[in-house]
Amino acid sequence: MPPAEIYVNWQLDPILIGGLLALGVAYALATGPLRERIAPGRAFEPGRASMFYVALVTFFLVEGSPLHDLAERYLLSAHMLQHLLLSYVVARLMLVGVPAWLWRALLLNRAVAPIAKVMLRPTMAFITFGLFFAVWHVPAVYEGALANPTLHHIEHVLFLVAALILWWPILSPLAELPKAPPLVQLVYLFTIPIAQLPVFAAITFSPDVVYATYANAPQIVGWLTPLSDQALAGAIMKVFGLVFFGVPFARIFFEWYARETRRNITQRDMRRRSGPPDGHDGVTTPVAVEAR
């Protein structure tokens, strides 16, 4: 396929479009006509709705735009960009875009609650996403997904689900399935990129092309050889990690530090105001003893 055609090749897959439309309609019904039945008295939140629909549009751009064809046939860097957009952008927008009362209805019903209470803990979320990310980048699994378009779409849907689990301990809107404590969040955000280092190193520093699809693909960008494309994929992975894990880490740290500082100042002021017990000035005065 000539390069000019690559960049206008949109994937108008009926399953993709139908699935996204179904999600959009379901959200509109749940937050509109059915809202009073699900959560009486709750107001419609246009800001959250906007984020949810931006998530759906972004998902379509990841799966249906020319980026998909570039990722599937020509460039590992394009495929890495797909995975990271799904995991770090679409998942976060979707998690925040669904109101707390709707998450409560989805996750705390009798069928789902036992699973959610286990899977959304920080340790399980860390393990789930870490294993999922690593397994799908094993060459045999990766090539299998590229060879089967249906499996490839399933892979990306599962990426989104795993990413929703990943971000829950940081962004949870539910007291029943709460965010992790601030110090746990800091450890969590610090260790996720470390857990991804094996995948990063295998892709970035390999002397050979890891995935046969890209080794045999036409070189559609003159300066981008398969090996340099592979290194670019690793760089994209690290830049996204720095932004999407580093920025929240810094925000949570400074919020925690400011909160602890205020608490210490308040406790010190309270101790000063309380002073010594009544009738004492806090200084022991020597008592003269009359000689006998």
Q: Would residue 286 count as lying in a domain?
A: no
* Cα(117)–Cα(112) distance, integer angstroms: 9
Q: Would residue 290 count as lying in a domain?
A: no
The structure tokens listed for 141 are: 């699994």
* Cα(231)–Cα(224) distance, integer angstroms: 10
Kindly tell me if the per-residue pLDDT of 281 is higher than 70: no
pLDDT digits (tens, 9 = 90+) for 130-182: 999 999 999 999 999 999 888 888 888 999 999 999 999 999 999 999 999 99
DSSP state letter for 106: H
pLDDT of residue 101: 97
129: region left, alpha or beta (phi > 0 left; psi from -120 to 50 alpha): alpha
The structure tokens listed for 12 are: 């108008």
Q: Would residue 200 count as lying in a domain?
A: yes
List Cβ neighbours of 256 (8 Å cut-off, separation of 6 or more): 182, 183, 186
pLDDT of residue 13: 85
Bigger pLDDT: 107 vs 220: 107
**Interior CA angle at 43 toward 39 and 49, to 5°?**
100
Residue 93: which of 180, 178, 160, 158 has the closest Cα? 160
Mean pLDDT of 216-229: 90
Q: Would residue 185 count as lying in a domain?
A: yes
User: Can you say how many angstroms the Cα of residue 172 is from the centroid of all Cα atoms in its chain?
Assistant: 11
For 189, other C-beta atoms within 10 Å of its C-beta total 23
Q: Which domain holds residue 67?
A: 7-272
**Interior CA angle at 59 toward 55 and 62, to 5°?**
140
pLDDT of residue 222: 81
Kindly tell me if the per-residue pLDDT of 279 is higher than 80: no
Mean pLDDT of 186-197: 95
CA gyration radius for the chain? 27
Structurally, the chain folds into a number of domains equal to 1
Q: Would residue 284 count as lying in a domain?
A: no
DSSP state letter for 196: T
| Range name among 130-144, 146-160, 208-222, 273-287 with the lowest pLDDT average | 273-287
Kindly tell me if the per-residue pLDDT of 48 is higher than 50: yes
Q: Would residue 282 count as lying in a domain?
A: no
Kindly tell me if the per-residue pLDDT of 266 is higher than 90: no
Cβ atoms of residues 210 and 136 within 8 Å? no
Q: Would residue 53 count as lying in a domain?
A: yes
> pLDDT grade, residue 220 (50/70/90)?
confident
Q: Would residue 292 count as lying in a domain?
A: no
